[in-house]
Structure 1
Amino acid sequence: MPFPARRALALAAALVLAPLAHAAAPLKPCRVDGIPTELQCGSLERPLDPARPDGVKVDIHYLVVPALARNKQPDAVLLLAGGPGQSAIKVAARVLPRLSRLNNRRDLVFIDQRGTGKSAPLDCPDDSKLSVAEQLEPAAQMRRIDECRATLEKLPYGKDGGLRFFTTTLAMQDMEAVRERLSVPQWNLVGASYGTRAAVEYLRLFPTKVRRTVIDGVAPPDMVLPASFSTDGQAALDKLFEAHAKTHPELRADWQKLLASLPRSVSVQQPLTGVAERFSVDRDLVMRSVRGPLYQPALAAALPAAIHAAASEANFAPLFGLTTAFGSSPSMRLAMGMHFSVICAEDASRIAESKDAPGADFRTVDAEMYARVCKAWPRGDVAPDFYKIPPAPSPVLVLSGGADPATPPRHGEHVAQALGAGHPERVQHIVVAEAGHGVMPVGCMRDLIFRFIDAKRDAAALPQDAACATRIPRPVAFQPVQAAK
């Protein structure tokens, strides 16, 4: 979620550009969008395919925000970005306010995972200014994905099946190489969304190189993402209906009325360009439009009014406006080529094995979409052990939002139990009942995370008291302002 710009600016203005005491290789001054002062950047050449060290190489880019204090701690904080497909460096300005207290005595490190940002990017063209129908209509999406894949396969690191070498496992090997380059003895991992899967894999591969771990909005390695989208999205939608039953008793009826009216021709203005357009809306298009706002309770609070407008007035502008608002920030855009390289390798082949029952409204639209994309997308190799979660070697803080439509508490609980096997005192699972996708920005959570990582002894790191966050209520439903008659 967005943070006030002045907070990021105030933090950045206080940063001191000093050489890393533990750096084994020189870093050079650099600038990052949203941060007005110079930071430190570096890159590391890595083989695209580890089995062919003399073959194609990719550069892994990283950003270091130096600790403010001279007597800093040696264990840096590593942010593992979400998606899959998000650039860690591009979200640095948004994340810094959450980690400002940790940055007093610890370096913060942001690594663009292979396939994202500047690290052998697998970007697809930005479609935010396309017509609403082109953005959301499945056939148009498929055409753009096919065109993007064909373009990426012409890149030096995309040729000859190169898209197979962007899996989570290979990416975590890159992260380990960066740790060695910076001579960081141990990371404190902070992973969000897909970054939680990355963190769990790093823990599995390099257990002695992690001091503390925070995973927020947990996407387990054995989670079949396309199939779980339907199950978890439906649960979040049903919870929305229940939460607003008193203030909007007609909400469920409006929803059923809306679905029963489809397909239908509608006219709306493209939210970014303002250009009016007419197109046909079907059930799948409406389900895709509802999903995005569910990620953020502040946006979801406007869904009752948007659903009512669409069902009773045939006014779809509020609904599609909310869809465009979600993820509209450039820093939140995903490298969709990397996204599909990860999902097609790690999840798509297991869709048929999933035990998640499709949601009554969401059905199997997402699973079908990914199955279609992954038929043609090159798939990397995934070791069977990737899907196993070993006991945690060090303290882990697991965070879940109760209203999250993508990574709700059931996934966090599953991972917490696996990580805590044999040593349950090493793991704590905190559920913020009315939070959406991502708990770190909520209330006092950044201070809680600071206390967890900063604790000198493992025994003092957990448990943490999260009452200051767990009692935060859901935002009240948005009420449109009616002009006086």
Structure 2
Amino acid sequence: MPHHHRSTRWVQIATAVVSLLLPTAATMAAKPALQACRVEGIPNEVQCGTVQRPLDPARPNGPQIDVHYLVVPAMARNKQPDAVLLLAGGPGQSAISVAPSVMSRLGRLNNRRDLVFIDQRGTGQSAPLQCADESHLPIQEALDPAAQLKRLRQCKESLEKLPYGDLRFYTTTLAMQDFEAVRLQLGVTQWNLVGASYGTRAALEYQRQFPGSVRRTVLDGVAPPDMVLPASFSVDGQAALDALFAACEKDTQAGRGCARRFPTLRQEWQSLLAGLPRTVTVNQPMTGIPETFKLTRSAVLQSVRAPLYAPALAAALPAAIRAAAQGRYEGLLGLSGALASSKALRLAMGMHFSVVCTEDVPRLTTDTQPVGADFGTSDADLYRAVCSFWPRGAVDADFYQVPKAQTPVLLLSGGADPATPPRHGARVATALGAKAQHIVVPQAGHGVMSLGCMHDVVFRFITAATDALALPQDASCAVHIPRPDVFLPPIAPNTKAAGQP
């Protein structure tokens, strides 16, 4: 399998005509007709707008899509001309949907800067590529790989009937050209990019294509273009799980120590895996109705990886693993659904596969990429199966390169992150060069900006008057945050926990 997608004819055409398709400063001299609007979760009135874009840049008169965006106006009258742009994760997350949940992190920046949230093409309100909601499916159907592939085939066929349903044209590269069109329509001099997770890949691609349009960049949970997502899921998930086990073994404090309460945690984990697949009966997390189904190794691995994203949830994994090893699975399945329950975090799976099948899976090999000892290739196998029938766009080889940064970049990594751990941020920081600083918070999970004092670090970085003052930033307030104490389930009076003297 070739290491890169090679440029095809339509990509060459797209590159050649992109400057013609994007509105120029002259044509956008007049302010766009933003409409006052309300967004649930944001108390004040905000502004909504759209920019019309060709689905395929090589066919400017072909099918069009409306790219929707939200502007939270700066509160001060003498606002700064460089707005803050949030690039959402996934791929497949709606930036407008997550806006209310991130306002607390960006609130101080909003004093003198507009905050802008663009629904990337394929997400939210921008030509959405949504598959059916599976949260209420019976557990057996939700976990059955054959049924899952059948649903995704049906989703693909349904999406392809839409006026904008050519699934080849939802790549990160094309989406960032949309973002540049929004910048010009708004008359923003330069963006301050704030990317989270997949949004960091988007930010790097925007910066690669339009370096002059960027003033500062924050990359929180770095997912570089050469990450090869399905393979990294296995390696990085395994590293985070192993770190959890190691931290438990080192926690020997009296009374609440993890090692004292769960002295055989690794063995219980391996015992759990060895007993799979098996038929079990569990209350469905959404309905509470008991269901009997076949619990597979893949399902258990997914259930463990999800809470690893958030250390506060991961603190309950030792108790959940022990219970599952003893035949009680509600805790493990409940933890796995804790993060996915928010509608704001729901991914547009059509867009997700359009991106990953184009940018990652073609670079997925079977013989050179390492895998986690427990996680294996289950994720890679699933993506290979889906991408065997999912349409692929084209990616220029330059997409996988990270040029030297022309303006300051702040990279943030959580040492306990199972998705975008520091190894990715370190590689990107080296490629970006002297204008980049990589901050690692050893005990943080997926997303470092959510830590209270990191709000101030990001604020100082973006508001610094000069590039020389922007870096380096002091993040010692967060670096020493400890791992949360292990969750200990209640114990009946006069009953000793397993492993207690």
TM superposition score normalised by structure 1? 0.92
| 2:82 paired with 1:75 | yes
Q: Equivalents in 1 of 2:284, 2:488: separation in Å?
A: 22
Choose from 373, 378, 383 the match for 2:391. Answer: 378
| 1:61 alignment partner, SS class | strand
Amino acid at match of 1:53: P
- Give the superposition deviation at 1:397: 0.0
Partner of 2:330: 317
Give CA-to-partner distance per residue, 1:49-78, whole Å, 9 cap, x none.
Answer: 000000000000000000000011000000
The answer as to whether partners of 1:396 and 1:428 remain within 8 angstroms in 2 is yes
Partner of 1:407: 420
| 1:305 alignment partner, SS class | helix
- Give the superposition deviation at 1:132: 2.5
> How do 1:359-378 and structure 2 match up within 5 A?
359-378=372-391
- Give the superposition deviation at 1:353: 7.5
Partner of 2:292: 278
| 2:277 paired with 1:263 | yes
| 2:180 alignment partner, SS class | helix
Q: Which runs of 5+ in 2 are unaligned?
A: 1-28, 252-257, 495-501
TM superposition score normalised by structure 2? 0.89
Amino acid at match of 2:231: A
Q: Equivalents in 1 of 2:425, 2:139: separation in Å?
A: 34
Give CA-to-partner distance per residue, 1:428-478, whole Å, 9 cap, x none.
Answer: 000010111110001300110000000000000000000100100111111
| 2:187 paired with 1:183 | yes
Q: Equivalents in 2 of 1:457, 1:137: separation in Å?
A: 55
Amino acid at match of 2:85: L
| 1:211 alignment partner, SS class | strand
Give CA-to-partner distance per residue, 1:59-109, whole Å, 9 cap, x none.
Answer: 000000000000110000000000000000000000100000000000000
Amino acid at match of 1:258: L
Partner of 1:12: none
| 2:438 paired with 1:442 | no
| 2:355 paired with 1:342 | yes
Partner of 1:473: 482
- Give the superposition deviation at 1:138: 2.2
The answer as to whether partners of 1:30 and 1:38 remain within 8 angstroms in 2 is yes
| 2:467 paired with 1:458 | yes
Amino acid at match of 2:471: L
Partner of 1:307: 321
- Give the superposition deviation at 1:139: 2.3
Q: Equivalents in 1 of 2:263, 2:221: separation in Å?
A: 30
Q: Equivalents in 2 of 1:95, 1:354: separation in Å?
A: 40
| 2:65 paired with 1:52 | no
Q: Equivalents in 2 of 1:317, 1:484: separation in Å?
A: 23
Q: Which runs of 5+ in 1 are unaligned?
A: 1-21
Q: Equivalents in 2 of 1:23, 1:236: separation in Å?
A: 51
The answer as to whether partners of 1:80 and 1:88 remain within 8 angstroms in 2 is yes
Partner of 1:206: 210
| 2:157 paired with 1:143 | no
Amino acid at match of 1:173: Q
Q: Equivalents in 2 of 1:221, 1:341: separation in Å?
A: 15
Amino acid at match of 2:324: A
> How do 1:108-127 and structure 2 match up within 5 A?
108-127=115-134
Give CA-to-partner distance per residue, 1:271-293, whole Å, 9 cap, x none.
Answer: 11111101111211211111111
Partner of 1:7: none
Choose from 200, 217, 224 the match for 2:221. Answer: 217
- Give the superposition deviation at 1:484: 4.1
| 1:32 alignment partner, SS class | coil
Partner of 1:25: 32
Q: Equivalents in 1 of 2:368, 2:455: separation in Å?
A: 35
Partner of 1:387: 400
Aligned length: 456
Choose from 93, 98, 102 the match for 1:95. Answer: 102
Q: Equivalents in 2 of 1:439, 1:293: separation in Å?
A: 16
- Give the superposition deviation at 1:355: 4.4
Q: CA RMSD, aligned part only?
A: 1.2
| 1:163 alignment partner, SS class | coil
- Give the superposition deviation at 1:140: 2.5
Percent identity, please: 66
Q: Equivalents in 2 of 1:278, 1:325: separation in Å?
A: 21
- Give the superposition deviation at 1:360: 0.3
- Give the superposition deviation at 1:150: 1.1
Amino acid at match of 2:171: T
| 1:406 alignment partner, SS class | coil
The answer as to whether partners of 1:225 and 1:347 remain within 8 angstroms in 2 is yes
Give CA-to-partner distance per residue, 1:223-246, whole Å, 9 cap, x none.
Answer: 111111111110011001111124
- Give the superposition deviation at 1:343: 0.3
Amino acid at match of 2:93: Q
Amino acid at match of 2:91: P
| 2:305 paired with 1:298 | no
Choose from 232, 242, 245 the match for 1:228. Answer: 232
Amino acid at match of 2:371: P
